[in-house]
Amino acid sequence: MHFNLPLFPEQASTIAGQVDAFYLFLVLITTFFSLLIALLILFFIIRYRRRPDHEAEQIHGSTLLEIVWTAIPLGITLCIFVWGAVLYYRIENPPTNALEIYGVGKQWMWKFQHPGGQREINTLHVPTGRPVKVTLISQDVIHDFFVPAFRVKQDVLPNRYVYSWFEATKPGSYHLFCSQYCGTNHSAMIGHVIAMKPEDYAEWLASGKAEGSLSSMGEKLFQEFGCTTCHRPDSGARGPNLQGLYGRPVRLSDNRVVVADDNYIRESILNPNAKVVQGFQPIMPTFQGVVSEEGLIQITEYIKHMGTQESEPINNRSTPTQLRDNEVPMIQQELQQGGQPAPSGKKP
């Protein structure tokens, strides 16, 4: 039996210290008010204890006091809200240069894929000093990706990508828990995140037996499933050109504009009629049941890297989906002014 009694998990990420500081603040407030009430009560039950000659003073109330002890807690809770919201914003929004890793949760294990194709089960190696964004999806029920030492947590849903990001600061091995009850072996769906110094991480990557990078595996699937039949850069193509697509706004047949993110790509493969690109017919068949979650991840990686060799996306008649470069700022302004930005992943 372990006899040391820690109160905090290790602080192993850039955000951990900030979360702990917020926690301390909250604990202080809780302790302060709890003690205040407790001591007041203690004082009152002694000072005003029942004595034979002693009568209670019938006090109606005090509106001023009511206002004060409504306003002060309200002020404090608003501060708590703001601090919490700012911290949350930082926890939820990864920097753009994050290393992208993919995770698939299933009953009852975690499967991770690195961009270079390395795969892991229940363990996740990451470098320190670099933001890592883990894109997650479940194969069955809702799971949850929880690394206490990093202070991050994200429910992992079936049929929809979500992500969690962190920047590890200290090399070490940290608990990874599934923290959304998922059936029989929920408490066994655990593992470790192993943070390594960047040199060690590079070594580890090189030593692993990868079949090829995620992107190259995706390219194979792209060809195997016949995607190239329609998705070509030439003008007669029946499907939109995918080069340079990732991350750009796309106009749909009903005039909505959405951003082509991971969820958009996944949905387009599994449920092509949900969002049909303007200027194209809804003829794409569904690949539901044909391609696995890992396969989807690999194809998405491939699409992400399509067109990154060229410096500009192709703009020709065959790509009406691609908004012209001169259109993009206008659309982005439209989006900012409260037309729906519609990142197809998060839902209200």
Judged by CB under 8 A, does residue 81 bind other proteins?
yes
What is the closest distance, in whole angstroms, from the C-beta atom of residue 56 to other proteins in the complex? 4
Please give the residues from 94 up to 133 whose contact with other proteins meets the rule CB under 8 A: 107
Of 11, 14, 29, 332, the one binding other proteins (CB under 8 A) is 29
Binding segment for other proteins (CB under 8 A), chosen from 62-70, 193-201, 297-305, 319-327, is: 62-70
Judged by CB under 8 A, does residue 234 bind other proteins?
no
CA–CA gap between residue 122 and residue 124 (Å, rounded): 7
For 231, residues 6+ apart whose C-beta sits below 8 A from its C-beta are 237, 239, 240, 241, 242
Of 11, 14, 179, 332, the one binding other proteins (CB under 8 A) is 179
Measured from the CB atom, the residue of 71 and 330 that comes closer to other proteins is 71
Judged by CB under 8 A, does residue 181 bind other proteins?
yes
CA–CA gap between residue 193 and residue 309 (Å, rounded): 33
Token code pair at residue 235: 């003008």
For 160, residues 6+ apart whose C-beta sits below 8 A from its C-beta are 137, 263, 266, 345
CB 165 within 8 A of CB 133: yes
What is the closest distance, in whole angstroms, from the C-beta atom of residue 228 to other proteins in the complex? 18
Judged by CB under 8 A, does residue 229 bind other proteins?
no
Token code pair at residue 118: 């390395």
3-state secondary structure of 340: coil
Judged by CB under 8 A, does residue 24 bind other proteins?
no
Residue 262 to residues 46, 131, 258, 302, 313, Cα–Cα distance (Å): 65, 19, 12, 11, 19
What is the closest distance, in whole angstroms, from the C-beta atom of residue 53 to other proteins in the complex? 9
Measured from the CB atom, the residue of 7 and 209 that comes closer to other proteins is 7
Judged by CB under 8 A, does residue 135 bind other proteins?
no
For 338, residues 6+ apart whose C-beta sits below 8 A from its C-beta are none
Strand 191-196 and strand 123-127: the pairing is parallel
Judged by CB under 8 A, does residue 14 bind other proteins?
no
Of 98, 99, 142, 237, the one binding other proteins (CB under 8 A) is 142
Q: Which of 156, 145, 154 is nearest to 178 (CA)?
A: 145
Measured from the CB atom, the residue of 27 and 206 that comes closer to other proteins is 27
Judged by CB under 8 A, does residue 337 bind other proteins?
no
What is the closest distance, in whole angstroms, from the C-beta atom of residue 315 to other proteins in the complex? 27
- Residue 215 one-letter amino acid: S
Judged by CB under 8 A, does residue 252 bind other proteins?
no
Judged by CB under 8 A, does residue 180 bind other proteins?
yes
Of 95, 123, 187, 325, the one binding other proteins (CB under 8 A) is 187
- Residue 285 one-letter amino acid: P
Measured from the CB atom, the residue of 15 and 303 that comes closer to other proteins is 15
Binding segment for other proteins (CB under 8 A), chosen from 125-133, 183-191, 213-221, 314-322, is: 183-191
Give ∠ CA 253-247-328 in degrees, rounded to 5: 65
